Amino acid sequence: MKFGFLSLLLSLIGILLIKFVYGAGVLIFIKRAGEPSISLLYLFYSRQQILVFLFFGFLITFAYLTYVLNRIKNLLETFPKEEENVVTKK
């Protein structure tokens, strides 16, 4: 139960990180019809600063997902096997 909840929680956090970073990229580089030509981020930051932010966002997301995969792998390796839990009655 604990293992399933932990892996689900870590996966959801990773998905939210990916969605946030992808959403930031879409906000910056795609202009929809009828919207102003300047993104709100451009009012506060230069294009270079935004690209650096996106780069570090992708790096952090990749590092976090690598951590999640290693954590799940370690949990699977240390998870008790079925035959270890079986107690035979004599």
- pLDDT tens, position by position, 36-80: 655 666 666 677 777 777 788 778 878 888 888 888 888 888 876
Residue 56 lies in a domain: yes
Residue 57 lies in a domain: yes
Closest CA to 63 of 14, 3, 6: 14
Residue 16 lies in a domain: no
Give the pLDDT of residue 48: 77
Residue 55 lies in a domain: yes
Give 25 or 84, the one with higher predicted confidence.
25
CA separation, residue 40 to residues 12, 16, 48, 56 (Å): 28, 22, 15, 20
Alpha helices, DSSP H, located in 1-90: 2-29, 40-44, 47-78, 82-85
| C-beta of residue 54 within 8 angstroms of C-beta of residue 39 | no
